[in-house]
Amino acid sequence: MKASQQVELFDTTLRDGAQTAGISFSIEDKMRIANRLADFGIDWIEGGWPGASPKDDLFFEQVRHRQWPNSSLVAFGSTARPGHAVEKDRGLNNLAESGADAACIFGKSWDIHVTKALGITLDENLELVSGSVAYLKQNLGTVMFDAEHFFDGYQANPDYALQVLQAAANGGADVLVLCDTNGGSIPSRVFDVVREVVARFPDIIIGIHAHNDSELAVSNSVAAVQAGARQVQGTINGIGERCGNANLVSVIPILKLKLKIDCDVSGDELKQLSSLSSFVNEMANRLPWKHQPFIGQNAFAHKGGIHVSAIRKQSSLYEHVDPALVGNEQRILVSDQAGRSNILSKMQLLEPEAGLAADDPGVAEAVKRIKELESAGYAFEGADASFQLLLRRAMGRFKRHFELVRFRVYDEKRGHDDKPEAEATVQVRVGGKLKHSAALGNGPVNAMDKALRAALVDAYPNLSSMQLSDFKVRVLSTRQATEAMVRVLIESSDGHRKWSTVGVSTDVLEATYRALNDAIEYKLVIDQVPPPDELLD
């Protein structure tokens, strides 16, 4: 630990995180995550348990070539197997030979675990702990001791739990890590126990390793630091055995931004927090948690009109930290919870040149229209392009580029194994001229999309670059059971931009048409294609 540093960060994403149900990192994933953690400024990176699996052995082999100026590699393992002389214990020797900069071994500190799980006497366990730490200290250098189940052990038999820490200290442990292995402790208790341990071992770094079974792992870690702990163990996104570990993505900004505790992550590195979290989610093949504190997509998303009105005056009125400090950003949502402030903020973001004022009658009209449409099943949160068109309509700044005369869609399937075929015909009027087209598609939506754009492409050649890139249908429950509403969300692209539109109807094809209509109108608006004179909306 550097002299100026108050708390060191120990990441166990690659060890305890790899114990998460449903997560299996490849060696390449582990290498990439380890390098990302080192770039981020994590002090200790626990890579796995050498000797426990061929994957971890290969990882430790490959990571020998690391170039991490500010991070150290830790090999995890246990105290020696009972009955083995420590120097002959394969597990300890695997750690000593792993090429890691430090070892972190767990040992029993709850008396019942000693007698039941290990089947040895309490004194034999003390010898196992001190002997194992001392052997690694001689053969590797830095040794941390994870006192497994420390808080439960301290509750059951405080004298013995402390004797175990003393045995590790006698063996030369550099860090004594108090583990809330079952995740059942609460912050006030953690604070009190850590304070007592810190007072008893003033010359050794005390660490905390908290599990999240009571949804308190972050709080317990913070309480431990407030009581004097100087190492926090955790994982990126809180992955880990059962309900996971303390989430470093929350712990780090709490330490830095709220407690103003120095840890080896700079302000610039902290701005990478959101991207680090996404990266680990990608490697773990997990969907991001949109509401994740600090870095989630919704962590600084404001929906209520009252909130948006206030943050327009000062962001901190509804934001506990500046989102930019953790690499996140403020979002303003538009929905039936919106007021004029939401509309203004969103419009200023999307069309800064529009120069709207709060008292513009178009803004009040847009709020009214949004509330009506959202109660009819529309959702504008994920459909910025439809939202922009709605605003333009409300403010009398929209002219249609085309008018639908009719569409017809057939879907035919002949026999169980036959591939269905869809055909759409579309008639539109553009500037007084009728245009007619037909198209086949791999489904009715595809056929309608192709036919509509084919009918318009002569008048508007820029539509040829446009494609439908995503299509989602959601059935909405309505009060009239016989009349299920359908919401269609479409994402379109023209190679360098993407935009989303929404349509709602009791008929899926009509809802699709509405979303497609907005998608095409939006493309013509952003390309600044003038509409024909005689079509006004």
Ligand X SMILES: CC(=O)SCCNC(=O)CCNC(=O)[C@H](O)C(C)(C)COP(=O)(O)OP(=O)(O)OC[C@H]1O[C@@H](n2cnc3c(N)ncnc32)[C@H](O)[C@@H]1OP(=O)(O)O
| Binding footprint of ligand X on the chain (CB under 6 A) | 19, 49, 52-53, 78-79, 81, 106-108, 117-118, 148, 181, 241
Pick one of 30, 211, 340, 487: the residue that binds ligand CC(=O)C(=O)O (CB under 6 A).
211
For residue 213, give the DSSP letter.
Answer: T
How far apart CA 503 and CA 482 sit, in angstroms, is 20
> Residue 125's binding partner, choosing from ligand X, ligand CC(=O)C(=O)O, none, with beta-carbon cut-off 5 to 8 A by kind?
none
DSSP β-ladder status, 142-148 and 102-108: parallel
Kindly tell me which of 79 and 250 has the beta carbon lying closer to ligand X.
Answer: 79
> Residue 211's binding partner, choosing from ligand CC(=O)C(=O)O, ligand X, none, with beta-carbon cut-off 5 to 8 A by kind?
ligand CC(=O)C(=O)O
For residue 331, the minimal CB distance to ligand CC(=O)C(=O)O (Å) is: 36
Kindly tell me which of 148 and 449 has the beta carbon lying closer to ligand CC(=O)C(=O)O.
Answer: 148
For the segment 29-48, give every residue that binds ligand CC(=O)C(=O)O (CB under 6 A).
none
Maximum separation of any 2 CA atoms in the chain, in Å: 96
The two structure tokens encoding residue 71: 């991070």
Residue 516: how many CB atoms within 10 A of its CB?
Answer: 23
Pick one of 16, 56, 174, 491: the residue that binds ligand CC(=O)C(=O)O (CB under 6 A).
16
Q: If you count DSSP H runs as helices and E runs as strands, how many of each does the chain have, helices first?
A: 18, 16
For the segment 401-440, give every residue that binds ligand CC(=O)C(=O)O (CB under 6 A).
none
Question: Cβ(287)–Cβ(281) under 8 Å?
Answer: yes
For residue 18, the minimal CB distance to ligand X (Å) is: 8
Q: What are phi and psi of 418, to 5 degrees?
A: -75, 145
| Separation of CA 73 from chain center | 25
Cross-strand pairs, 73:
45
The two structure tokens encoding residue 282: 């990608």
400 membership: H or E segment, kind and range: none
> Residue 209's binding partner, choosing from ligand CC(=O)C(=O)O, ligand X, none, with beta-carbon cut-off 5 to 8 A by kind?
ligand CC(=O)C(=O)O
> Residue 107's binding partner, choosing from ligand CC(=O)C(=O)O, ligand X, none, with beta-carbon cut-off 5 to 8 A by kind?
ligand X
108 makes contact with ligand CC(=O)C(=O)O (CB under 6 A): no
Residue 203: how many CB atoms within 10 A of its CB?
Answer: 5
The two structure tokens encoding residue 142: 């830095």
For the segment 170-209, give every residue that binds ligand CC(=O)C(=O)O (CB under 6 A).
179, 181, 209
Pick one of 43, 148, 374, 384: the residue that binds ligand CC(=O)C(=O)O (CB under 6 A).
148
Of 147, 181, 172, 182, the C-alpha closest to 162 is 147
| Separation of CA 285 from chain center | 11
Binding site for ligand CC(=O)C(=O)O (CB under 6 A): 16, 106, 146, 148, 179, 181, 209, 211
